[in-house]
Amino acid sequence: MSDEWQPPAGSWASSAARRRNMQAIRSRDTKPERTLRQMLHAQGLRYRVAAKPLPGLRRTADIVFRPTKVAVFVDGCYWHGCPEHYIAPRTNSGYWSEKVAGNMARDRDTDRRLAEAGWTVLRFWEHESAEQCASTVLSVVLERRNRLLEGKLRSDE
């Protein structure tokens, strides 16, 4: 019997090193998320981090503005299939292609469910300018806040 780690049959990891590398990837508080949050906070916006916009939905948004019903997602190019930057892996490509396709389908389903519940969904790629993203979020949140104050956006919508 060998002391060297062997991936189980059908495993997503092709080696022990790859497994360690993939497990170290953050699912929240990534640099693009932190940068965007800092810019939004500097603009005076307050929000929830890694929160569930809908109580019955087992999915979290990166940044949530509950009163105005705005959910912000900062999607990683690899994990969410960025058309500009996604490159299919050379090892275990079937597994990873299926995984990314599933993530993309879940993203679309999340967008649809939130929209049906009256939420505005903003999605950005990790490579997009944080300044541009912050500007977009700020304008959407302020516009929805104004509509809410004017009574045009029901809080239960």
Contacts of 143 (CB under 8 A, 6+ apart): none
Summarize pLDDT for 103-147 with one digit per residue, the tens: 999 999 999 999 999 999 999 999 999 999 999 999 999 999 999
- Backbone dihedral angles phi then psi of residue 127, each to the nearest 5 degrees: -85, -5
Give pTM, 2 decimals.
Answer: 0.81
Name the band, by pLDDT with cuts 50, 70 and 90, for residue 151. confident
In the prediction, which pLDDT does 155 show? 53
Specify the CATH superfamily of domain 27-149.
VSR Endonuclease (3.40.960.10)
Residue 26 has which token pair? 């953050």
Summarize pLDDT for 69-112 with one digit per residue, the tens: 999 999 999 889 999 998 888 888 888 889 999 999 999 999 99
Summarize pLDDT for 4-49 with one digit per residue, the tens: 544 455 555 556 665 565 555 556 789 999 999 999 999 999 999 9
- Backbone dihedral angles phi then psi of residue 65, each to the nearest 5 degrees: -110, 95
- In the numeric block, the tokens 């906070």 are attached to 41
Contacts of 33 (CB under 8 A, 6+ apart): 62, 63, 74
Residue ranges per structural domain of the chain: 27-149
